[in-house]
Amino acid sequence: MRMDARIAKVKEARTLIQAALAGCDTPQIEMMLRNADLELHLVLWNLGEAVPLRPELEYPDLEQGR
């Protein structure tokens, strides 16, 4: 897989995770999803993508968490 295709897949995965996070009422699952999103954010960061410093800065609609 080319790097740009891999990056696109990671971005898709983040969109799915953020959809799963919306309205989550189970602390364990919400924390796991946030951690999963953090890891994917770091994938993009370490592939030189222009992402913000922290993943939370990309979804301000969600309540702030860890």
Tell me which residues touch other proteins (CB under 8 A): 3, 35, 38, 41-42, 45-48, 50, 52-55, 57, 64-66
Minimal distance in Å, beta carbon 46 to other proteins?
A: 5
- CA distances in angstroms from 66 to 3, 49, 54, 55, 62, listed in the order given: 29, 22, 11, 10, 12
Q: Residue 20 or residue 45: which is nearer to other proteins going by CB?
A: 45
Q: Residue 15 or residue 50: which is nearer to other proteins going by CB?
A: 50
First to last CA, the chain: 33
